[in-house]
Structure 1
Amino acid sequence: MAQSIQALRERRDAIAKNINSLMENNKGKAWSAEHQKTYDDSMSEVDTINAEIKRHETILAKLGEDAAAGNPDGLLNAAIRTPGAQNEESRALRNFMLGGFQALTTDDVARHNARRSPEIQAAMSTGTGSEGGYTVATEYFRRLTEAMKAYGGLRSLATVIRTGTGAAMNFPAADATAEEGEIVGENAAASALDTAFLNMQLQVFKYSSKSIAIPFELIQDSMFDLELYIEALVAMRIGRISGRHHVTGTGTTQPMGALTASVTGKVGAAGQTATVGYDDLVDLEHSVDPAYRNGRSVGWLMHDQTVKAVRKIKDSDGRPIFVPGYEQGNPGGAPDRLLNRPLNVDQAMPQMAANAKPILFGDFSKYTIREVMDLTIFRMTDSAYTLKGQVGFVAFNRQGGNLIDVGGALKHYQNSAT
């Protein structure tokens, strides 16, 4: 299946390159009805390929859902351990999940302590005191981070930092964009102009995966990839909620979302309660100062349904403003482009509606996501699980986010109220 997906992506890339070439070589009045037909036919083929890729990806996702439901024909059969394939970190993690703290060898404990990487914590579990929390190894946490990107397009654009503690982190800020010097005469005194400074904070919040109950039968089956199963569920649960908060979080009991912290750049005219036009996008782009419009993380962010509407927009010469992306030496695909800027999708963005803020534009690197230390998994074997023939797991992760900027790096388009 992986080879099939790769082949489909290569076909899509080839078509996207042809579309890019077609639009680049036929600008302005040179764009004809024949060119438009070629564009429409090519985009139709791209959509067909995208649907096929999504179908394959849905099948893979279904395997995970089957495992979550206890279906023995799902991930259980797909996740077969290769003898000897586990590294020491993975083996220790599996031992902990199977038997708890007491199942770890003295070598496991000694090795981690010697490396000053305390992956074994003596925190109390729900049940007996000998059951401790297991801080995920570096390899596992890195995979978790990659998986979380699938749930939040913003995360791959933002600046991500890690800190050793969860104490409030301060960022001094100042807006001196309106300040300028002066010409003074001979022996004349210079005027005073003090810059106003302010303090921005980046706090963290504790996220939980909620409890995950695993039947004894699956734990006892050595052919079941327990680490992969737990990892997939943790990534999905924590990734979805934190990704949503990084976009629309309130900033009080949640991280400050990028959209929440952004400034209005353009409001649709009366009647545009569920639409956006070419001029609106141009106005939104130029509402952001040119100083913010260069860089790797500059672009658009919107819901997939908004992308669908934007794809139908044409410029004053009748040319579509949407250009499909294609790989340029980097595996995994490239973002589509809108007005020659990367177009990124995040399903946490609102869809177009009266007063909604469905489109975000600017420098997303100014949004900072903060992670504190590692993700921690706890194993629970109290009576609430034992009576049902289960072992419980729960994961915690501390993170936060805020737009560390006072100059309007991110601005949004807002639909009209009426």
Structure 2
Amino acid sequence: MSIQALREHKNDIARQANQLLAEKGDTTWSKDDQAKFDGLMDESERIAGQIAAHQKMLDQRAEQHFIDAARKPADAAKNERAQGVELFLRKSMKDMSAEEVTMVRNTMATTTGSQGGYTVQTDVAREFVDYLKDYGGMRRVADRIATAMGNDMSFPTTDGRAEVGEIVAQNTAASNADAAFGTVPVNTVKFGSKIITVPIELLQDSQIDVVGLVNKRLRDRIGRIQNQKFTGGSGTGEPFGLVTAASVGVTGTTGSTLTVTFDSLVGLTEAVDLAYLAEGGFTFMMSQAARKMVRLIKDNNGRPIFMPGYGSGDVAAPDTILGYEIAINNDMPAPAASAKSISFGQHKKYLIRDAMEVTLFRFDDSAFMSKGAIGFLAWARAGGNLLDNAAVALYQHSAT
């Protein structure tokens, strides 16, 4: 069965599960109802694993053999900056004409040119950074800013939820209650793609979209490491990850080292202050392993609290728990003793900061030429931190 057929089958199962939920409504579920729904969810999970295996195989083949190298339309037109980037990727500086060298230098700053690398202009870097949102869960839910430079930066914070006014008698002075402000650092660190090698034949084929090919490889690698650190970074030499910065809202009862109860999930939704509800945007975030853990949980009347999402065409509806959307982030900790496997709240309060200082290097020395390839390396600076600790709460499994 093709990967597309598997996706359609999974979508059909989700439709059946939602239909069952709608038909039963608020009535108490029988054992047969539970068994039918659980069977659908088991089948959905099996197909999801099959889809993931197919996709992993396709990704590995693409990485090793460049079978995803797209060809350019015959009438494709590029602006001067795009032409400059393509020239840099395809040719060594010593093989360029004077006009081509000028075009490259107009596109990319020359601060590291002597080492074979260039800091790309801001508008070129922005396209590179914008595509990073496709890798992992954090960029899909977090807020984001871009700065021209990567110097240290702190953001002011204040929590006014505990502040109240007063009743003042006639001819009585008002009391002082200055707001307490703090700061949260959102400093950048340097992420590297590691060196990728591209066969000379691809670079020489003018019909290959070499800019898209190299950018995708670089973005894949940097996007994956950034999502890991935006999720669980320690804050020392790396970003403050969401799991590091947020507070525990609910700790599982003894024996819940690999599970979570209905009561704990309800408690987690109540661990975030109601003051944030007016702003909306509340979501659960968890890994696929954690979703597998929660998808069979029932409420006190035996009804499933998990509703599988399905859509039409390329538009997929998200899964929900207790009416809140689930954001899948496989860099969240898997269920384990003392692990913080689920977060809930306003994840947009996590801020990702991108410095538009993306540097590209091209290696064409003998170490690469002997393999018939050219090497490329990218550096990108970024940072992240949770600006409001009270906006997100974590579920932590019990230690025993």
TM-score of the two chains, using structure 2 as the length reference: 0.87
Q: How does 1:313-352 map to 2 (within 5 A)?
A: 313-327=297-311, 331-352=314-335
Residue in 2 that maps onto 1:93:
85
The one-letter code matched in structure 2 to 1:339 is: L
CA contact (8 A) 1:250 1:256 kept: yes
Distance 2:51 2:179 in 1: 53
Q: How does 1:235-246 map to 2 (within 5 A)?
A: 235-246=219-230
CA contact (8 A) 1:100 1:132 kept: no
Q: How does 1:31-180 map to 2 (within 5 A)?
A: 31-47=29-45, 49-51=47-49, 53-67=51-65, 75=67, 79-85=70-76, 87-88=78-79, 89-101=81-93, 119-125=107-113, 129=114, 131-133=116-118, 135=120, 138=123, 142=127, 145-146=130-131, 148-180=132-164
The one-letter code matched in structure 2 to 1:97 is: L
Say if 2:364 is the partner of 1:381. yes
Residue in 2 that maps onto 1:23:
21
CA contact (8 A) 2:28 2:302 kept: no
CA contact (8 A) 1:245 1:254 kept: yes
In structure 2, relative to structure 1, the CA distance for the partners of 1:251 and 1:394 (3 Å cut) is: same
Residue in 1 that maps onto 2:197:
213
In structure 2, relative to structure 1, the CA distance for the partners of 1:84 and 1:267 (3 Å cut) is: same
Distance 2:146 2:101 in 1: 25
Alpha-carbon distance, 1:211 to partner: 1.9
Distance 2:124 2:43 in 1: 39
Alpha-carbon distance, 1:362 to partner: 0.7
The one-letter code matched in structure 1 to 2:180 is: A
Overall identity of the aligned pairs, in %: 37
1:270-307 CA-to-partner distances (Å, cap 9, x unmatched) read: 22222211111111110111222455642111121111
Distance 1:13 1:137 in 2: 41
Residue in 2 that maps onto 1:417:
399
CA contact (8 A) 2:28 2:303 kept: no
Residue in 1 that maps onto 2:285:
301
Q: In structure 1, which of residues 248, 252, 265 is the aligned counterpart of residue 236 of structure 2?
A: 252
Alpha-carbon distance, 1:343 to partner: 0.9
Alpha-carbon distance, 1:338 to partner: 0.9
CA contact (8 A) 1:119 1:134 kept: no
Unaligned runs of 5+ in 1: 68-73
The one-letter code matched in structure 1 to 2:336 is: A
CA contact (8 A) 1:136 1:376 kept: no
In structure 2, relative to structure 1, the CA distance for the partners of 1:275 and 1:38 (3 Å cut) is: closer
Distance 1:34 1:138 in 2: 59
Residue in 1 that maps onto 2:168:
184
Q: In structure 1, which of residues 243, 258, 263 is the aligned counterpart of residue 247 of structure 2?
A: 263
Alpha-carbon distance, 1:376 to partner: 2.6
Say if 2:339 is the partner of 1:356. yes
TM-align CA RMSD: 3.1
The alignment partner of 1:29 has SS state of coil
1:35-87 CA-to-partner distances (Å, cap 9, x unmatched) read: 434423443453455345435533431332322xxxxxx517x6444434363
Distance 1:252 1:284 in 2: 28
The one-letter code matched in structure 1 to 2:381 is: R
In structure 2, relative to structure 1, the CA distance for the partners of 1:7 and 1:275 (3 Å cut) is: closer
The alignment partner of 1:397 has SS state of strand
The one-letter code matched in structure 2 to 1:162 is: A
Say if 2:256 is the partner of 1:272. yes
The alignment partner of 2:156 has SS state of strand
Distance 2:123 2:28 in 1: 55
The alignment partner of 1:392 has SS state of strand
Alpha-carbon distance, 1:400 to partner: 0.5
Distance 1:292 1:42 in 2: 35
The alignment partner of 1:83 has SS state of coil
Unaligned runs of 5+ in 2: none
Distance 1:252 1:57 in 2: 34
The alignment partner of 1:396 has SS state of strand
Greater Cα offset, 361-370 or 289-298: 289-298
The one-letter code matched in structure 2 to 1:238 is: I
The alignment partner of 1:358 has SS state of strand
CA contact (8 A) 1:101 1:130 kept: no
Aligned pairs, number? 399
The alignment partner of 2:226 has SS state of helix
Residue in 1 that maps onto 2:276:
292
CA contact (8 A) 2:349 2:386 kept: yes
Say if 2:379 is the partner of 1:396. yes
The alignment partner of 2:56 has SS state of helix
TM-score of the two chains, using structure 1 as the length reference: 0.83
In structure 2, relative to structure 1, the CA distance for the partners of 1:119 and 1:393 (3 Å cut) is: same
CA contact (8 A) 2:118 2:359 kept: yes
